[in-house]
Copies of this chain bind each other. A is one copy, B any other.
Amino acid sequence: MRDFSTDHSALALNTATLGHNLDGFGAGWSPERVIDACAARGFGGIVFWRRELGDRASEIGERVRAAGMQVAGLCRTPYLTGSEAGSEDDAKAAIDMAAALGAPVLTIVTGGTEPGTKGLAESRKRLADRVAALAPYAAARGVRLALEPLNPMFGGNRTCLMTVRDALSVCDAVGAGNVGVAVDVYHVWWDSTLAESLAAARGRIFGYHLCDWLENTRDMLLDRGMMGDGVADLKAIRGAVEAAGYDGLCEVEVFSAADWWQRPPEQVLDAVVARFRAHC
């Protein structure tokens, strides 16, 4: 297992941690200002959201690399299932943007239960069909697709994949080399079968996301904790992720409307570095 206590070169920032991906939150920093602030602190990479990039994906990707960092990924395709599922054109536009940005991984939050169905089986079939249709398009552009299972509380309208095991079953159904999983501690920390699922995911873990699960979570979506403030066993989870062969960047993604998004970005970034070294 890597030692992060004196080396945070594997640390990546998901820009959502600064709050400015949601209307009404964040300090409004430009991508360039985020890049400079991360580079100054020795981050290894950045993950952006589509709304930040507009038609500047290529330019911003170059800027990240010129600053000595990697673009670790892009969030995300439209939902592919459920009543808010997006179009094929929009999904392809996300892939195109990831390619232009130089992002090796595009995250998929699947979307919820297919209209008119019960349970999850039909939704997962639909998901596998849509991912299978997108995978060659992404492969031709050098982009890997990472299915991110979400905490079961997001079933219904946001996800039809609740565990790493669920995500792997869709990967198996798709059978494409550029389709894998993203592992976010917020979503998987509680899963007693996580280590065995991760072992089965060897070679297919395309991302590892960090935050913490607060003991008293006050909001389903926007009350994530900073690493060390919650009850997730972060080192044990990373141990299992690395035992399964993952050696990539570790992406900090803290949705925190009432706490971290109220603080100055400089303070948040300093805390991310310190907490990464101390607790991850």
Contacts and interface: CB of A to CB of B under 8 A. Distances in A.
A37 B233 CA distance: 48
A110 interface: no
A215 B156 contact: yes
Interface in A119-138: 119-120
A245 interface: no
A166 B217 CA distance: 21
Interface residues of A, number: 35
Interface in A211-247: 213-217, 220, 230-234, 236
Of A155, A157, A165, most B-chain CB atoms within 10 Å? A155
A192 B163 contact: yes
A26 interface: no
Interface of A: 83, 112-113, 117-120, 151-153, 155-157, 162-163, 165-166, 169, 189-193, 213-217, 220, 230-234, 236
Contacts of A169: 192
A113 B152 contact: no
Instruction: Classify the secondary structure of A's interface with B.
Output: loop
A230 B233 CA distance: 33
Contact of A193 (B118, B119, B157, B165): B165
Contacts of A112: 215, 231
A191 to B, nearest CB: 7
Given A118-B233, A156-B215, A220-B220, 13 more contacts: A112-B231, A113-B215, A117-B231, A118-B234, A119-B233, A120-B192, A151-B152, A151-B153, A155-B213, A156-B230, A157-B215, A157-B216, A169-B192
A156 B216 contact: yes
A241 to B, nearest CB: 14
User: Which 6 pairs of residues, A with B, have the shortest CB-CB distance?
Assistant: A119-B233, A153-B153, A118-B233, A113-B231, A156-B215, A152-B190
